[in-house]
Homo-oligomer: A and B are copies of this chain.
């Protein structure tokens, strides 16, 4: 294994060249005009995996394709399922990118560390390649793997696509993995490796309020005609009370208490309000009173307005009352909160606030349960130790505010536990302009996976 780790060090620039090639493909899954680029990214992964003599298929889903690959079977060896996604977030506002989003490069950030620049560098192409490059390094030396590996790489993670669930259900009879690895999460801190054990669920909704049958002159109709922006604003304002709690009936059903021991661990590794908020220019946790910023994001549910649009948004001024206004709203769920019930209650909450002269329409942008990864089982200690050997720091159990629906799918379809192991950091600007991935995360991430695979294999 040591010689493989050395090869990784010697050939890291070649690994980076492959990553850059991958990052140059603008595989934005939410915008239809990029559909061909998503397919191109899938094809790129197909070709990459073929070079390891894997049995690779590009599986059609009705949406963006899923790339699946299996290593040659080794009887009796454990079977690992690896999940990642090749799609990326939209890039607007484009003008805020210091370097174009799809022109990857190595740059030095404000703190002097070397980072990989580009949309998808951290979420999730860079993370995928830590695992793929680990496998590649092993294959180049041994021409085989220490265990059975199935790769499942999807293209709809950023667009709330639901084809993956169907696909996994279809694999239920064919695949029999023992354990899953998902590389789409953060470290505890840039030096402290982490396994993410709590992941929030998601309800994504789009609400459109309609009033008059056309845009109106606000002088001729101002006062007399319902203004859909006003109606929408009043609904949004009513969604939270002045203690930061969501006001939708029964919203908090199934939300678990946080164990005092966990709270303390997080404080020990320095996950303070300022550690989370200072880098983004803020100071005070904006959520529920009585919880600090880390608790609010890791284990409390949230309601966020992700976008709003209505009326005249251009230069200057236009005295108009628009015919419609709409907002994209998402809820992050924890513990046993029921996303279907919450969507139902939310829509009822909105409908009950729509004036008689207005209409409302809803579009669902996906639902997923929160998940708690079990911390039992023999594998946890082996993996924690492998990470500790690479990073020379005890591995920490953390939560994640982001939704990773696949965890529930894998639990449901294969009855296996997922280990969420990633090397991203809070300041990676994922979903924002100037996304980056620490060069150190990429390099030591590859090494970490090699250690983990050998720790679990023969």
Interface residues of A (CB under 8 A from B): 29-32, 89-90, 92-93, 96, 158-160, 186, 200, 202, 204, 206, 211-227, 229-230, 232-234, 236-238, 240, 244, 273, 276-277, 280-288, 293-294, 296-297, 300-322, 325, 327-328, 330, 332, 355-357, 365-366, 400-403, 426, 429-434
Copies of this protein chain in the complex? 2
Residues of B within 8 A of A432 (CB): 214-217, 320
In the bound complex, residues from chain B placing their C-beta under 8 Å from that of A223 are 244, 285-288, 296-297, 300-302, 304, 332, 401
Please tell me which one of the listed residues B236, B282, B293, B294 contacts residue A233 in the complex, with CB atoms under 8 A apart: B236
A217/B316 contact (C-beta < 8 A), A222-B297, A233-B237 known? no
A294 to B225, CA, bound (A): 11
Complex Cα distance, B223 from A284, in Å, reads 11
Question: In the bound complex, do residue B319 and residue A282 qualify as a contact, i.e. CB atoms below 8 Å apart?
Answer: no
Contact among B212, B282, B286, B316 with A30 in the assembled complex (CB-CB below 8 Å): B316
- Most B CB within 10 A of own CB, among A89, A320, A355: A320
- Assess whether B318 is in contact with A221, with CB atoms less than 8 Å apart: no
Question: Given A218-B332, A222-B297, A238-B237, are A227 and B305 neighbors across the interface (CB < 8 Å)?
Answer: yes
Residues on B with beta carbons closer than 8 Å to the beta carbon of A219: 200, 202, 297, 332, 400-403
Q: Contacts A225-B280, A300-B223 hold; do A305 and B312 have CB atoms under 8 A apart?
A: no
What CA separation (Å) do A219 and B201 show in the bound complex? 9
Q: Which of A287, A301, A303, A401 has the most CB of B within 10 A?
A: A401
Decide: B224 and A287 in contact? CB cutoff 8 A.
Answer: yes
**A307/B311 contact (C-beta < 8 A), A160-B316, A206-B317 known:** yes
Residues of B within 8 A of A325 (CB): 308
A92/B312 contact (C-beta < 8 A), A202-B219, A218-B306, A431-B215 known: yes
Q: Once the chains are docked, how many angstroms separate the CA of A400 from the CA of B186?
A: 60
Residues of B within 8 A of A273 (CB): 224
Complex alpha-carbon distance, A222 and B281, angstroms: 15
Closest to A224 in B: B293
Contact of A304 among B227, B240, B305, B433 (CB under 8 A): B227
Question: Are A211 and B356 in contact, CB atoms less than 8 angstroms apart?
Answer: no
Question: Across the interface, do B316 and A159 meet the contact criterion of CB distance under 8 Å?
Answer: yes
Select A328's contact among B312, B400, B431, beta carbons within 8 Å.
B312
* CA gap between A332 and B230 in the complex, in Å: 16
Are A321 and B297 neighbours in the complex by a CB distance under 8 Å?
no
Taking a contact as CB atoms under 8 Å apart, the answer to whether B204 and A317 are in contact is: yes
Q: Could you list some 7 contacts between A and B, CB below 8 A?
A: A30-B315, A215-B433, A230-B236, A237-B238, A305-B310, A306-B317, A306-B320
